[in-house]
């Protein structure tokens, strides 16, 4: 395309010049058999011993999360809400007919997502369908961890893989995703798959995966920045066109699709004052003046934008670090600044956490580490004497955690921006 448009080629050349020099060409592996084998942990007797210890521990933790906690369920049941809405789709009943004045979980997916999720309701026994869905989510999370391990150059036969799986399933994000039976495990796999395809130059695959993720959860929309700054137009076309096409088709087949615009979208714009860890949720809960919320929103949005700009310096010299750090910054910023933020969204920050094994990373800082602990740890702050304070901490410590992640990643980008070419 650039050869047909000389001015576009000149812009791309100037854009590429503003980056760290590439030390060596980054040639992503084209197939799993060509992925690099890490030298981080040499095969040894100790490796075998660690595997022998860690695999049973990982299996026990996964089984406990799936077969006990998730099977027992919780008063918050996202799956049944989705299942009943999808059954209305199959029965020809208007899908968006809920009473949004209640605090029960609501069906908020757009018509396009309704259409592609509709097969979930083909099994009429909701309890069976729920457990199958939970197991699928658990498998998707494990698969995402496996792809991340390979992206960062680690062998799946080493002791690191069971350790990563065990740690992931201990987090609040994975635990509550399985207990509430929502789709975030599948979305984590989509996020990791998108990053893998993006870094591997598979533009159409990256666009299709991102487009499907955007249809189901529009919070992924900011990730279009990644292919945009790399001039990957195929990814952009698929990432934007697929959600539009799916919703256009769904508008014709989903009963009462128009009510999504007239009833559901106004509800989505509201900032609820319960179980909401976003900054607008905090402002609303404590009744802070509107101007305080606006100023904080603008300042933090500027920090996110500046951090994304600074991180561009790494897009050629360290593409893996750049993609994981930028996606983590964009998503943590979205969780922090959107109308609704919930702690288990933090699962999407796993790629950013994985950068801790690299030579340099936003996670090599106290702010980054503390932020991840605050938004991923399963700690419950229940005080017998001061139950209200415990509730505040449970709800708003993730807010502080996302804030720490945003600041730590933006500062890391600023340091990379100031670093001289070739400097450490």
Residue 377 counted as domain residue: yes
Which pLDDT does position 12 carry in this prediction?
Answer: 58
Q: Is 165 exposed, middle or buried (0-12, 13-18, 19+ CB in 10 A)?
A: buried
Residue 17 counted as domain residue: no
What does DSSP assign to residue 273? S
Q: 201, 224, 256: which is the final residue of a domain? A: 256
Q: Does 212 lie in the same domain as 298?
A: no
Q: Does 275 lie in the same domain as 246?
A: no
Residue 32 counted as domain residue: no
Which pLDDT does position 332 carry in this prediction?
Answer: 98
Distance, C-alpha 81 to centroid of its chain: 22
Cβ(235)–Cβ(196) below 8 Å: no
Containing structural domain, residue 302: 268-418
Which pLDDT does position 233 carry in this prediction?
Answer: 94
Q: Does 330 lie in the same domain as 214?
A: no
Q: Does 279 lie in the same domain as 190?
A: no
Nearest to 142 by CA among 159, 162, 160: 162
Domain count, the chain: 2
Residue 423 counted as domain residue: no
Q: 221, 256, 291: which is the final residue of a domain? A: 256
Cβ(389)–Cβ(363) below 8 Å: no
Residue 42 counted as domain residue: no
Q: Does 152 lie in the same domain as 252?
A: yes
3-class secondary-structure state, position 98? coil
Q: Does 367 lie in the same domain as 219?
A: no
Q: Does 246 lie in the same domain as 298?
A: no
Residue 67 counted as domain residue: yes
What does DSSP assign to residue 110? -
Q: 256, 282, 315: which is the final residue of a domain? A: 256
Q: Is 24 exposed, middle or buried (0-12, 13-18, 19+ CB in 10 A)?
A: exposed
Q: Does 239 lie in the same domain as 297?
A: no
Buried b (16+ CB within 10 A) or exposed e, 272-307: beeebbbbbbbbbbeeeeeeebeebeeebeebbeeb
Query: Mean pLDDT of residues grouped by 10 in the chain (424 residues)?
Result: 56 56 47 43 72 95 96 88 92 88 81 95 87 96 97 92 97 96 96 97 96 97 96 95 96 93 90 88 93 96 97 93 98 96 95 96 96 93 84 93 98 87 52
Q: Does 199 lie in the same domain as 69?
A: yes
- Ramachandran bin of 96, using left for φ above 0, alpha for ψ from -120 to 50, beta for the remaining angles: beta
What is d(CA 276, CA 279) in angstroms, rounded to the nearest whole number? Answer: 9
Q: Does 283 lie in the same domain as 249?
A: no
Residue 33 counted as domain residue: no
Q: Does 272 lie in the same domain as 401?
A: yes
Q: Does 281 lie in the same domain as 143?
A: no
Residue 210 counted as domain residue: yes
3-class secondary-structure state, position 225? helix
Which pLDDT does position 106 carry in this prediction?
Answer: 84
Which pLDDT does position 10 carry in this prediction?
Answer: 55
């Amino acid at each position: 395309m650039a050869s047909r448009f000389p001015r576009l080629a000149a812009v791309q050349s100037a854009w590429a010049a503003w980056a760290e020099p590439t030390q060596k060409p980054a040639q992503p592996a084209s197939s799993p058999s060509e992925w690099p084998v890490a030298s981080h942990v040499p095969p040894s007797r100790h490796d075998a011993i660690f595997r022998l210890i860690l695999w049973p521990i990982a299996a026990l933790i996964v089984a406990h999360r799936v077969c006990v906690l998730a099977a027992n369920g919780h008063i918050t049941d996202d799956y049944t809400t989705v299942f009943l809405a999808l059954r209305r789709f199959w029965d020809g009943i208007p899908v968006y007919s809920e009473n949004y004045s209640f605090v029960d979980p609501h069906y908020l997916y757009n018509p396009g997502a309704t259409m592609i999720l509709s097969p979930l309701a083909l099994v009429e026994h909701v309890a069976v369908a729920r457990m199958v869905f939970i197991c699928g989510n658990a498998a998707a999370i494990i698969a995402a961890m496996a792809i991340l391990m390979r992206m960062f150059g680690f062998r799946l036969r080493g002791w690191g893989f069971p350790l990563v799986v065990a740690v992931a399933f201990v987090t609040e994000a994975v635990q509550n995703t399985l207990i509430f039976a929502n789709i975030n495990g599948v979305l984590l796999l989509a996020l990791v798959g998108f990053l893998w395809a993006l870094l591997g130059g598979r533009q159409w695959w990256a666009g299709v995966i991102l487009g499907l993720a955007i249809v189901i959860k529009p919070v992924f929309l900011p990730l279009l920045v990644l292919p945009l700054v790399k001039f990957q137009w195929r990814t952009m076309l698929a990432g934007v066109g697929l959600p539009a096409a799916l919703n256009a088709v769904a508008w014709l087949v989903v009963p009462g699709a128009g009510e999504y615009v007239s009833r559901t979208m106004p509800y989505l714009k509201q900032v609820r004052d319960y179980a909401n860890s976003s900054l607008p949720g905090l402002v609303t809960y404590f009744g802070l003046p509107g101007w305080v919320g606006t100023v904080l929103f603008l300042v933090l949005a500027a920090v996110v934008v500046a951090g994304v700009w600074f991180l561009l310096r790494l897009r050629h010299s360290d593409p893996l670090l750049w993609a994981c750090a930028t996606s983590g910054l964009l998503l943590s910023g979205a969780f922090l600044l959107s109308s609704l933020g919930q702690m288990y969204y933090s699962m999407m920050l796993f790629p950013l956490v994985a950068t801790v094994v690299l030579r340099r990373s936003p996670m090599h800082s106290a702010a980054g580490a503390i932020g991840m602990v605050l938004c991923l740890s399963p700690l419950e702050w229940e005080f017998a004497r001061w139950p209200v304070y415990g509730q505040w901490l449970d709800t708003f410590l993730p807010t502080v955690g996302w804030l720490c992640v945003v600041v730590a990643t933006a500062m890391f980008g600023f340091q990379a921006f100031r670093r001289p070419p070739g400097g450490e």
